[in-house]
Amino acid sequence: MNSAALQPPSRLWLAALLLLCIGAALFSLHQQMPLAQWGALIWQPELNNLDQLLVYYSWLPRLCMAVLCGGALGLAGVLMQQVLRNPLASPTTLGVANGAQLALALATLYAPTLLVAREWLALLGGGLATLLVFALARRRGLSPLTLILAGLVVSLLLGAVNVMLMLLQPQGLAALFIWSAGSLSQNNWDGVLFLLPRLAAALLLIGWLVRPLRLLELDDSGARSLGVSLAKLRLLGLAVAVFMTACVVSSVGVIGFIGLAAPAIARLLGARTLQQRLLWAPLLGAALLLLTDFGVQYFAGNSSVLLPTGGVTALLGAPLLLWLIPRLRLPAGRPQLQPATQLPRLQREQPLLLLMALLLLGAAALALLFGLGPQGWSWVLDPQVLQWRIPRILGAAGAGLMLGLAGSLLQRLTGNPMASPELMGISAGAAMGLMLLLFIWIGAPLWARLGMGFLGALITLLIIISFARRHAYSPDRLLLVGIAIAALFDAVKMLVLSLNDPRGQSVLSWLSGSTYFVELPTALMAIACGVALLLLCLPLARWLTLLPLGESTPRSLGVPMRAARLSIMLAAAMLTAAATLLVGPLSFVGLMAPHMARMLGFHHARGQLLASALIGALLMVIADWLGRNILFPDQLPAGLLAALVGGVYLIWGLGRRR
């Protein structure tokens, strides 16, 4: 297979982009020091010239790091996409970067002497995350959607662990968290000298692998007939990609979505063959990161607040994924949590619903009266202690009820058992609205926070549904759009927390889902809102039964499709906003509760709504009680603990044999 040259228009675009980088670099350098002093940079700066010292030891190393990191991530993205035959594969979407970051955080806290070999620690973390993603996706043949969904779940789970470590050891990890957001700031040449030989070795290995990697463009049988060991080739190609990513993460932190953007733009400009992508993707990655970093420096000016470049590049992820989704050719089938075996069906649902309600009351009583204190485990009847616990239990129950109900509504609306407020990005939309309000109006009252959260959730849900209408409400496309929005929220969250603003700590506490500061009026309102919306949703049972059947069947049976979808969307948005206000944007309760209801035999819409609400409330009450007692006197937020348990549950569900 000969390497065909790029078309002339593509060459012009590439040349224009590279010339823009050169122009931006010259402009930035001119702002740093006069033109007459540029020659001194070739040799050695004058020790008494501060401008020359800053350029030589800060500006130039930063420029070199941007080029090296952008090129390495672009190259890693090409390798992953070639090996997996997946246009969405990248270090970010497969959880490699989050795994490397978690490994470095653990070493910083518990084994700082190991940081001498930080790239190998990052490689271990990224490699383990990749292996976990593969273990989840291999039973579906590594299909694009399953692989990206598994990467999202692993990333969310690892991110929850990172947040937990940050809450438990805020002083030890504050600097690491700011740095790991992707800061390219340098004060010497050590980072460049660290990266250069490692990336050069990886580049030599890639050059040796180019020819066999080209055979992966054939089908598996064709490649095997030529004597290629596909398993070994894929493993080696991924190992090189993970190694490059680990080196970048250990040097500058997480740089978001360059590994996805560079190969995608290379394809858009006409790079069809592997050789072309291996050449142009690193150049594009370096150019994108360099231009982003120059933009960050320019808009920061003389301000002491400098946004991390990696967080800014991550903002490109959502629009890029939204652009890619219509162009994807996804194979038939989608990831599901349901096992292949027939689930039980209840003949009478009322007795089990009554039993679940009694279990919820029992769990609430246990959480209220029994716990760990200074004297150990004991029953507590002290009115002062009960006055503190009652709002937390009611708030957790109300949030769980609303999340379980919202998850059931969304799964019925889309016909997708993987739909939930967390995975569809609706919780992320509500959280972005609330974060914006917390920064512009610190003492915002409850009604303002609820309204802003509802607005964010509704706008997100409208974007998801309107985008999916062009694909006949395909469950796969709905899920991918949600993944894009969740990625956007993750980038915004990373930027907010890396600013080192005092308000960021309160945002972090809220994002983790702590019920510690829930007051009794808020908790009672949550319960009342959840029960009221549950009662309002029960009459929609007929619509919820027919909507999963597609477009034509419900319409032929008299279902007003537009009104039905809008009503369910409004209810799901309100439920998600109110729950997010209490327990943060990530808990997985909205996914777990409907699935558990189906496993218990609730298949009729009305019974599933009631069961999902009760299970959601029960899960959050138990999570709040465990979070209060596991690390006493320290506490784990209920939302964060539910996210950890839910992430493990989801990994188990995805990994089950179909």
Examine the domain organization and report whether 282 and 384 are in the same domain: no
More confident residue, 243 or 657: 243
Mean pLDDT (whole number) for 144-149: 73
The pLDDT tens digits for 217-268 are 666 666 566 666 667 788 888 889 989 988 888 888 888 778 888 888 888 7
Q: Are 70 and 258 in contact (CB under 8 A)?
A: yes
Give the alpha-carbon dihedral of 70, 71, 74, 77, to 10 degrees: -110
Q: Alpha-carbon distance 605 to 544, whole Å?
A: 6
Q: What pLDDT is stored for residue 498 in this prediction? A: 65
Among 300, 334, 351, give the residue marking a domain's end: 300
pLDDT at 7 over 60: no
Q: What pLDDT is stored for residue 617 in this prediction? A: 92
Q: What pLDDT is stored for residue 10 in this prediction? A: 66
Answer whether residue 28 is part of any domain. no
Model confidence at 508, in pLDDT bands (50, 70, 90)? low
Examine the domain organization and report whether 385 and 241 are in the same domain: no
The pLDDT tens digits for 462-477 are 777 777 666 655 656 6
Q: Are 427 and 595 in contact (CB under 8 A)?
A: no
Examine the domain organization and report whether 389 and 294 are in the same domain: no
Answer whether residue 438 is part of any domain. yes
Answer whether residue 90 is part of any domain. yes
The pLDDT tens digits for 556-604 are 878 787 788 878 888 888 888 788 877 777 677 888 888 888 888 888 8
Examine the domain organization and report whether 99 and 178 are in the same domain: yes
Q: Alpha-carbon distance 419 to 181, whole Å?
A: 29
Examine the domain organization and report whether 291 and 368 are in the same domain: no
Token output for 45: 């700066």
Examine the domain organization and report whether 141 and 251 are in the same domain: yes
What's the residue count for the chain? Answer: 658
Q: Are 425 and 483 in contact (CB under 8 A)?
A: yes
Nearest-10 crossing angle of helices 383-414, 589-599? 70
Q: Are 166 and 173 in contact (CB under 8 A)?
A: yes
Residue whose pair of structure tokens reads 């959050």 in the numeric block: 620
Examine the domain organization and report whether 474 and 579 are in the same domain: yes
Examine the domain organization and report whether 399 and 270 are in the same domain: no
Q: Alpha-carbon distance 582 to 454, whole Å?
A: 13
Percentage of the chain modeled with pLDDT above 70: 81
Instruction: Tell which residue, 393, 395, 397, has the closest CA to residue 367.
Output: 393
Query: Exposure pattern of 309-322 as b/e (b: 16+ CB <10 Å)?
Result: bbbbbbbbbbebbb
Beta bridge partners of 371: 378
Q: Alpha-carbon distance 613 to 406, whole Å?
A: 9
Beta bridge partners of 372: 377
Examine the domain organization and report whether 284 and 367 are in the same domain: no
The pLDDT tens digits for 70-83 are 999 999 999 988 88
Amino acid at 478: L
Among 250, 270, 300, give the residue marking a domain's end: 300
Among 253, 275, 300, give the residue marking a domain's end: 300
Q: What is the 3-state secondary structure (H, E, C) of 135-165?
A: HHHHHHCCCHHHHHHHHHHHHHHHHHHHHHH
Mean pLDDT (whole number) for 4-30: 76
Answer whether residue 341 is part of any domain. no
Range scoring the smallest mean pLDDT among 271-280, 379-388, 525-534, 647-656: 647-656
Examine the domain organization and report whether 441 and 586 are in the same domain: yes
More confident residue, 77 or 55: 77
- Nearest-5° Cα angle at 199, 248 to 184: 35
Tally the domains of the chain: 2
Sequence-distant (6+) residues with CB within 8 A of 280 are 6, 14, 266, 269, 271
The pLDDT tens digits for 515-538 are 777 888 888 888 888 889 889 888
Range scoring the smallest mean pLDDT among 134-138, 341-345, 444-448, 629-633: 341-345
Answer whether residue 175 is part of any domain. yes
More confident residue, 160 or 306: 160
Amino acid at 141: G
Whole domain around residue 168: which residue ranges?
Answer: 51-300
Instruction: Tell which residue, 547, 534, 541, has the closest CA to residue 403.
Output: 534
Q: What pLDDT is stored for residue 179 in this prediction? A: 61
- Nearest-5° Cα angle at 174, 187 to 68: 40
Answer whether residue 11 is part of any domain. no
Q: Are 544 and 603 in contact (CB under 8 A)?
A: no
Q: Alpha-carbon distance 357 to 346, whole Å?
A: 17
Q: Residue 517 sits in a domain of what CATH number?
A: 1.10.3470.10
Q: Alpha-carbon distance 610 to 192, whole Å?
A: 58
Answer whether residue 4 is part of any domain. no
Instruction: Tell which residue, 194, 180, 184, has the closest CA to residue 98.
Output: 180
Answer whether residue 34 is part of any domain. no
pLDDT at 439 over 70: yes
SS3 for 66? Answer: helix
Examine the domain organization and report whether 282 and 367 are in the same domain: no
Examine the domain organization and report whether 282 and 368 are in the same domain: no
> Longest Cα pair distance anywhere in the chain, in angstroms?
87
Q: Are 616 and 593 in contact (CB under 8 A)?
A: yes
